[in-house]
Structure 1
Amino acid sequence: MSAPIPTRIHYHQRARELELGYADGTSYRLPAELLRVYSPSAEVRGHGPDTAVLQVGKKDVGLKNITQAGRYALKLHFDDGHDSGLYSWDYLYEMARHQSGWWADYLRRLEEAGATREPSSITIKQL
């Protein structure tokens, strides 16, 4: 797949959403939680489908920083300390176009595991 490259990238801090705008006028807003639980990192995805780690308690996660990785990806730095994995333009576009299905799948897996989106402890964020 050769996804378009965003012409505009903006993080909406209050909503905790990453907005990607494209030359054709389309834009998508991806929740930080969705980006975090579907991180392309080995820490989350494992080294194969059987080794993926279900991410729980990420409801309030946000982004601390966004950096570009070459001409092909973004590196997202989450406020829970996670910052491994590169989000290629193809991966972000695929996520944006199918986010409702990905979200439903995530909620289903949480329910099957008896887990929750709610953090298990109080999170203190420094401003």
Structure 2
Amino acid sequence: MMNTPAPTDIRLHQKSRYLEISFADGQTFKLPCEFLRVHSPSAEVRGHGRGQEVLQVGKEDVNIVAIEPVGQYAVKLFFDDGHNSGLFDWGLLHRYGEHQDEMWQAYLERLKAAGHERRASGPAPVQTEESDS
């Protein structure tokens, strides 16, 4: 955690439903609200131990309504579905940015295995710089 670069800028894009976070190492990540909600570090999502994770479904249209700093190491995100119990520290957000694609694919696979289908109305949480044409 000590090697995690500090964020230099955090911007919430409510209309597009993503959090843009830039770090001192020059990397900038666009993390969709849905992605952050389904991967919340809260006990409600992660459970209290291995194998106790709770699959989050129906979060395609979730948005962040507020961001509250927690000391010099994290932010608390307030989602419009009432969820606000996860603390997103800088290391976690940086890891989420670096591993967003594989984390999202794993989430989609868990949804499918549980018999759920993601509605297409929300923005697809793969926010890369190259186009998908």
TM-score surpassing 0.5?
yes
Q: Which runs of 5+ in 1 are unaligned?
A: 119-127
Once residues 88 and 25 of structure 1 are traced to their aligned partners in structure 2, the CA distance between those partners, rounded to angstroms, is 18
Query: How do 1:98-109 and structure 2 match up within 5 A?
Result: 98-109=99-110
- One-letter code of the match for 1:15? S
TM-score of the two chains, using structure 2 as the length reference: 0.85
Deviation at 1:25, TM superposition (A): 3.1
Q: Which residue of 2 aligns with 1:4?
A: 5
Contact kept? 2:68, 2:77, Cα under 8 Å: yes
Report the Cα distance in structure 2 between the residues aligned to 1:100 and 1:33, rounded to whole angstroms: 13
What's the CA shift for 1:48? Answer: 1.1
Counterpart code for 2:31: L
Give the counterpart letter for 2:8 in structure 1.
T
Letter in 2 for 1:50: G
Question: Post-superposition shift, 1:106?
Answer: 0.2
Which structure 2 residues correspond to residues 1-127 of structure 1 after superposition, within 5 A? 1=1, 2-118=3-119
Deviation, structure 1 residue 22? 2.0
Matched letter for residue 97 of structure 1: E
- Computed over aligned residues only, the root mean square deviation of the Cα atoms, in angstroms, reads 1.3
Shift of 1:105: 0.3
Unaligned runs of 5+ in 2: 120-133
**How far apart in 2 are the matches of 1:32 and 1:11?**
9
Separation in 1 of the partners of 2:95 and 2:102?
A: 11
Count of residues paired in the alignment? 119
Distance apart, 1:115 and its partner CA: 1.1
Using the alignment, how far apart are the partners of 1:93 and 1:22 within structure 2? Answer: 8
